[in-house]
């Protein structure tokens, strides 16, 4: 465990090496994954409500990443005349059978392919998708969604979800970090190169609210109806609010499925199958209140035309006392933007008077 650096200095292991790279979870085709998603009450309730509010009788809907077809079925229930259910995974025959079993086969056309290769006879009225990873965009969500928006949706068409916000926070997670530390010594051998491999995969963690060492920062706000970049990069500055041991960053998202339906996967939100993302630092760092942590974080496609997502992060930690005037003030917390709007609308400030 190393203490925070008194003088601003990049951690040496990151200064000389490429940033860690994380791949997304593998395509979700396993039966248990679908059962977990279909029994996630937060997810299902939100999608059910948003689809009922957004899809109108007679609509043509694209369901990007249809899985077993549940969102297509809900779209038909909401009145959709035709749903194109696009799924690249292996369960499409079962999805077809489920549609037939429920008398929906005539209104749903299943297409077994990656959405980027699909063309439609005419643009749809609604683009519906749930391809969210634990850090929101880590299943190449942006690349697929923006491509489908441009090619498969009518101009100005409705989208579910319509906006996404990603958050990061420094965390103390000793048990999760022990998976990293384990590789330093295996039977007396130096297995530390395995750490690079481990850090190249985003891990999942159930992060308790008490694990946070400072307030979360908003990493990115994305309006999916207008957003264009598939790679997101930002520098964030955190100020520690309690003493502890910094093991890395936790990440999560808040998604607006429609104007009135949203949910979050934060440590203090009702639990979901997404849990939270964990981006471990190589070494734990002792921190005290007032210390600053500066992070440059990026997420985007691994390569052009790649279906894999790349996550990279560099970080440096500085002690507040010795930084004096050189230290930047902490970035204003975005959390207040999640508070109820003072105008009394009942909406969150950021979705009401605080809209960017």
Ligand X SMILES: C[S@@+](CC[C@H](N)C(=O)[O-])C[C@H]1O[C@@H](n2cnc3c(N)ncnc32)[C@H](O)[C@@H]1O
Bridge partners of 164, per DSSP, are 222, 255
Q: Does 114 bind ligand X (CB under 6 A)?
A: yes
Q: Which is nearer to ligand X, 65 or 251 (CB)?
A: 65
Indicate the helix (H) or strand (E) that contains 50.
Answer: helix 41-54
Q: Does 70 bind ligand X (CB under 6 A)?
A: yes
3 state DSSP class of 24: coil
Q: Which is nearer to ligand X, 130 or 165 (CB)?
A: 130
Q: Does 28 bind ligand X (CB under 6 A)?
A: yes
Distance CA 12, CA 2 (A): 12
Q: Which is nearer to ligand X, 114 or 283 (CB)?
A: 114
* DSSP single-letter state for residue 33: H
Q: Which of residues 36-55 bind ligand X (CB under 6 A)?
A: 37-38
Mode of pairing for the β-strands spanning 292-301 and 309-318: antiparallel
CB of residue 134 to ligand X, shortest distance in Å: 11
* DSSP single-letter state for residue 212: B
Binding residue for ligand X, selected from 14, 24, 59, 67, defined by CB under 6 A = 67
The stretch among 21-29, 210-218, 234-242, 273-281 that binds ligand X (CB under 6 A) is 21-29
What binding mask, one character per residue, do residues 257-296 give for ligand X by CB under 6 A, x or -? ----------------------------------------
CB of residue 65 to ligand X, shortest distance in Å: 2
Q: Which is nearer to ligand X, 144 or 238 (CB)?
A: 144
Q: Does 110 bind ligand X (CB under 6 A)?
A: no
Indicate the helix (H) or strand (E) that contains 34.
Answer: helix 31-38
CB of residue 83 to ligand X, shortest distance in Å: 11
Distance CA 275, CA 163 (A): 20
Q: Which is nearer to ligand X, 56 or 116 (CB)?
A: 116
Distance CA 131, CA 330 (A): 33
The stretch among 60-68, 238-246, 265-273, 287-295 that binds ligand X (CB under 6 A) is 60-68
Total of residues contacting ligand X (CB under 6 A): 19
Residue indicated by tokens 């309730």: 45
Q: Which is nearer to ligand X, 38 or 186 (CB)?
A: 38
Q: Which of residues 126-185 bind ligand X (CB under 6 A)?
A: 130-131, 144
Q: Which is nearer to ligand X, 24 or 248 (CB)?
A: 24
DSSP string, 314-338: EEEEE-HHHHGGGSPPPPPPSGGGG
* DSSP single-letter state for residue 271: P
Which residues make Cβ contacts (< 8 Å) with residue 33, sequence separation at least 6? Answer: none
**147 C-beta neighbours (distance < 10 Å), count:** 16
Which residues make Cβ contacts (< 8 Å) with residue 180, sequence separation at least 6? Answer: 195, 198, 199, 280, 282
β-sheet with 292-301: strand ranges across: 232-239, 292-301, 309-318
CB of residue 116 to ligand X, shortest distance in Å: 6
Q: Does 23 bind ligand X (CB under 6 A)?
A: no
The site for ligand X (CB under 6 A) is made up of 27-29, 37-38, 65-67, 70-71, 86-89, 114-115, 130-131, 144
């Amino acid at each position: 465990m190393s203490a925070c650096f008194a003088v601003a200095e990049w951690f040496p292991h990151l200064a000389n090496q490429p940033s860690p790279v994380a791949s997304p979870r593998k395509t979700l085709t396993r039966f248990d994954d679908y059962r977990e998603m279909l029994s996630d009450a937060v997810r299902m309730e939100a999608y059910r409500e948003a689809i009922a509010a957004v899809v109108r009788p007679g609509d043509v809907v694209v369901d990007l990443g249809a899985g077993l077809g549940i969102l297509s079925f809900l779209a038909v229930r909401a009145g959709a005349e035709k749903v194109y259910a696009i799924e690249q995974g292996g369960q499409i025959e079962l999805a077809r059978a489920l549609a037939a079993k429920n008398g929906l086969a005539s209104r749903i056309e299943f297409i077994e392919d990656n959405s980027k290769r699909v063309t439609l006879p005419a643009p749809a009225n609604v683009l519906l998708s749930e391809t969210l990873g634990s850090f929101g965009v880590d299943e190449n969500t942006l690349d697929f969604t923006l491509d489908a928006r441009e090619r498969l949706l009518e101009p100005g068409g409705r989208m579910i979800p319509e906006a996404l916000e990603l958050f990061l926070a420094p965390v103390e997670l000793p048990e999760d970090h022990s998976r990293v530390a384990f590789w330093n010594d295996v039977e007396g051998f130096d297995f530390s190169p395995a750490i690079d491999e481990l850090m190249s995969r985003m891990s999942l963690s159930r992060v308790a609210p008490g694990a946070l060492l400072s307030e979360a920062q908003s990493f990115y706000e994305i309006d999916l109806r207008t957003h264009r970049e598939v790679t997101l990069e930002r520098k964030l500055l955190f100020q520690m609010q309690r003493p502890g041991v910094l093991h890395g960053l936790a990440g999560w998202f808040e998604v607006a499925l429609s104007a009135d339906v949203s949910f979050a996967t934060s440590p203090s939100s009702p639990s979901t199958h997404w849990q939270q993302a964990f981006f471990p630092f190589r070494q734990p760092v002792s921190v005290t209140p007032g210390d600053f942590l500066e992070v440059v974080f990026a997420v985007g496609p691994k390569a052009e035309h790649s279906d894999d997502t790349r996550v990279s992060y560099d970080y440096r930690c500085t002690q507040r006392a010795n930084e004096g005037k050189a230290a930047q003030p902490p970035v204003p917390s975005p959390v207040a933007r999640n508070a109820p709007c003072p105008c009394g609308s009942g909406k969150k400030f950021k979705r009401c008077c605080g809209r960017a």
